[in-house]
A and B are shown apart, each in its own frame.
Chain A
Amino acid sequence: MTEAVPSYLSPTGQEIVFLLLGAVAVGAGLLVVTTRQLVHAALWLVVCFGAMAGCYLVLTAEFVAWVQVLIYVGAVVVLLLFGIMLTRAPIGRSADLDSGNKTVAAIVAVATAAVLVTVVIDGFRTAYTPLDPGTGAAKELGSTIFRNWVLPFEALSVLLLAALIGAIVISRTDIRGRN
Chain B
Amino acid sequence: MTVKFTTTINGKEVQGETEDRTLLVQFIREHLGLTGTHVGCDTTQCGCCTVHVDGLPMKSCTMLAVHADGKEITTIEGLAKDGELHPMQAAFRENHALQCGFCTPGMVMSSIGIVDRHKGEKLDEKTVRHELEGNICRCTGYHNIVKAVLSASEVMNKG
A binds B: no
